[in-house]
Amino acid sequence: MNIQKCAIIGAGGVGSTTAFTLVQSGLFNEIVIIDVNKNKAEGEALDIAHGIQFTNPVNIYSGDYKDLADAYLVIVTAGANQMPGESRIDLINKNASIFKKIIPSITEYNKDCILLIVSNPVDILTMLALELSGFPKERVLGSGTVLDTSRLRYLLSKKLEIDSKNIHAFIIGEHGDSELAVWSNADIAGVHIEDYCKNIFDSCDINLEEILNEVRNSAYHIIEKKGSTFYGVAMAVKRIAQAIIRDEYSILPVSHFLNGEYGIKDVCLGIPSLICRKGVKRIIPINLNENEKTYLTKSANTLKEAYKSIKK
């Protein structure tokens, strides 16, 4: 296995932007892009390769599934795009049928990689990838609510006029309409967010639920305006890849299989998890209040029911 080799399945907006972002990151010295549309994959790889002299040396090319045989990290972005007015869960059967071809094609050539699922609905497809691959659960994870959490911190930083790096708050649950913000544990440099708003920030008119709704609707607004989202998610994928390849032991809310944590079993959803070179080391048991526990269970049940709807 080549720790510095990455394969990206899917050369659409998210896949190609992820490839571009990873080339600039310097994390890998070899990146292969695979897509059913081989011309598209080749074009994207060539376009990025022509700028290699301006960044870190990396061999980026288009290929076939056999080319991912020694890839340490395989990122799956392939699937139908979310259309205006369409929820992520609406994509289930379209993208599940695609995954039923992709995942066996990956495992035919590589049974030891880490699988990072990005395609939507990401929690359900992470669960499907876990089932189809037969990999141990620590080596199958989804991008989860990493982007949602970044959106939350961005919005709070604008409202509170403070660097988003000083904001510690998570979005957890489904990467979608049933996600929730863990306000009970949100803080600004150690000061609980509600205390910060009341006692330190000049204004007390911060409506946290409005901010959460803005996070939930962010993708819909972007899709309505430009047709798709890909820059933010590509940067989120880069952050997860960095935690894996550099063995950082960073805590990120990736989508992962729960087996009793938070009182929830047999479903993948976005939960703060310790990420290292082996994938997910462990789920972090952050304290939730009763309302948050109830809402997280509701989010998990929503995903369970949706997973049952996949045509077997």
Binding residues for substrate: 82, 88, 120-123, 148-151, 229
What is the H or E stretch that residue 303 is in?
A: helix 290-308
CA distance 84 to 259: 35
Residues tagged in the binding site annotation for NAD(+): 14, 35, 40, 65, 79-80, 118-120, 143
Q: Tokens 């708003």 appear where?
A: 197
Given a contact cutoff of 8 angstroms between Cβ atoms, the answer to whether 303 and 88 are in contact is no
One-letter amino acid of 294: T
DSSP 83: P
> Whats the size of the chain, residue-wise?
312
Tell me if residue 50 is catalytic: no
How far CA 42 is from CA of 80, 91, 118, in Å, comes to: 20, 27, 21
Residues tagged in the binding site annotation: 14, 35, 40, 65, 79-80, 82, 88, 118-123, 143, 148-151, 153, 168, 229
DSSP for 188-205 reads ETTEEHHHHHHHTSS---
Q: Decide: residue 287, CB within 10 A, 0-12 exposed, 13-18 middle, 19+ buried.
A: exposed
Which is the catalytic residue, given 175, 192, 221, 256? 175
Active site residues: 175
